[in-house]
């Protein structure tokens, strides 16, 4: 049986001593995941183009652009111990209908959401497998499954990320690495709270459950997929969307 990477003690924090990378961990969903991992003993490296927002105790910030494969490779190579946990969370939107979408809007979203995740997976593959295994979680979206008006770039990037998840699961599984995706629905981040009420009302109306997910709901799913408990789950997409897309 494949040995578990840097196993935490059964009686200690679940991620004690493990090295994690969280992209886009400066704020929002990524920050909630980074904080939760650090709270359970992990050494958490935040790869973000911005510095983390206040009170980032326990997080190690790396200011970089995940679109740049050389920057990503250098940052991963500079870690003193190999990462065995990776969360590809950084993502952006540039919404516009297909007929009006510019080349730049299409290319930027694909570059961050899809190429950025590829850059990270490629960079960690060797150190993770040499460490005996690991866990990768990619932050997709329900709009990568169902499509969404005005989000051709974003939905294509997230659909591509799901295909990348399944391919990486097949390639890295024999080396003890699991690769899964989370597909959130509308999550109550600061950004979403600032959207017009009617946009939030529409998401709520689509949802089966009365409350839309908070960042901690997504973080809980990510920590499960990163944990020893999920060792036999790979190539899957876990929706955290209050039933917004069933």
Of 7, 12, 50, 209, the one binding ligand NAI (CB under 6 A) is 50
Q: Give the integer Cα–Cα distance in Å for 223 and 241.
A: 16
CA angle 187, 63, 122 (to 5 degrees): 80
User: In this complex, which beta carbon is closest to ligand NAI, that of residue 37 or of residue 131?
Assistant: 37
User: In this complex, which beta carbon is closest to ligand NAI, that of residue 17 or of residue 61?
Assistant: 61
CA-based nearest residue to 64, from 77, 54, 53, 51? 51
User: In this complex, which beta carbon is closest to ligand NAI, that of residue 71 or of residue 129?
Assistant: 71
Q: Give the integer Cα–Cα distance in Å for 64 and 240.
A: 28
Task: Answer for the pair 161, 90: CB distance below 8 angstroms, yes or no.
Answer: no
Q: Give the integer Cα–Cα distance in Å for 156 and 117.
A: 14
Residues in 154-213 at the binding interface with ligand NAI, rule: CB under 6 A: 184, 186-187, 189, 191-192
User: In this complex, which beta carbon is closest to ligand NAI, that of residue 28 or of residue 82?
Assistant: 28
By CB under 6 A, residue 67 contacts ligand NAI: yes
Quick one: DSSP state of residue 80?
Answer: S
Q: In the chain, how many H helices and how many E strands?
A: 9, 7
Assess whether 154 carries a catalytic annotation.
yes
By CB under 6 A, residue 115 contacts ligand NAI: no
- How many residues lie near ligand NAI (CB under 6 A)? 27
Report, as residue numbers or ranges, the catalytic residues.
Answer: 154
List of residues contacting ligand NAI (CB under 6 A): 23-24, 26-30, 48-50, 65-67, 89-92, 112, 116, 139, 141, 184, 186-187, 189, 191-192
């Amino acid at each position: 049986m494949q040995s578990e990477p840097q196993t935490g003690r059964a009686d200690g924090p679940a991620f004690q001593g493990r090295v994690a990378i969280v992209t886009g961990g400066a704020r929002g969903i990524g920050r909630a995941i980074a904080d939760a991992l650090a709270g359970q003993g992990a050494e958490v490296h935040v790869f973000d183009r911005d510095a983390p927002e206040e009170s980032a105790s326990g997080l190690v910030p790396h200011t970089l652009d995940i679109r740049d494969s050389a920057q990503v490779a250098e940052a991963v190579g500079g870690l003193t111990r190999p990462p065995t946990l990776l969360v590809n969370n950084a993502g952006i939107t540039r919404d516009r209908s297909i007929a009006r979408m510019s080349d730049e809007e299409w290319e930027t979203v694909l570059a961050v959401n899809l190429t950025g995740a590829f850059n990270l997976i490629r960079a960690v593959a060797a150190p993770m497998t040499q460490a005996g295994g690991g866990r990768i979680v990619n932050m997709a979206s329900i709009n990568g499954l169902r499509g969404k008006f005005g989000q051709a770039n974003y939905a294509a990037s997230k659909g591509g990320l799901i295909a990348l998840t399944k391919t990486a699961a097949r390639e890295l599984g024999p080396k003890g690495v699991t690769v899964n995706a989370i597909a959130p629905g509308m999550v109550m981040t600061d950004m979403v709270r600032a959207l017009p009420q009617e946009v939030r009302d529409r998401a709520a109306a689509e949802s089966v459950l009365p409350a839309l997910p908070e960042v901690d709901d997504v973080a809980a799913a990510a920590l499960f997929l990163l944990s020893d408990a999920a060792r036999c789950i790979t190539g899957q997409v876990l929706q955290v969307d209050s039933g917004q897309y069933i």
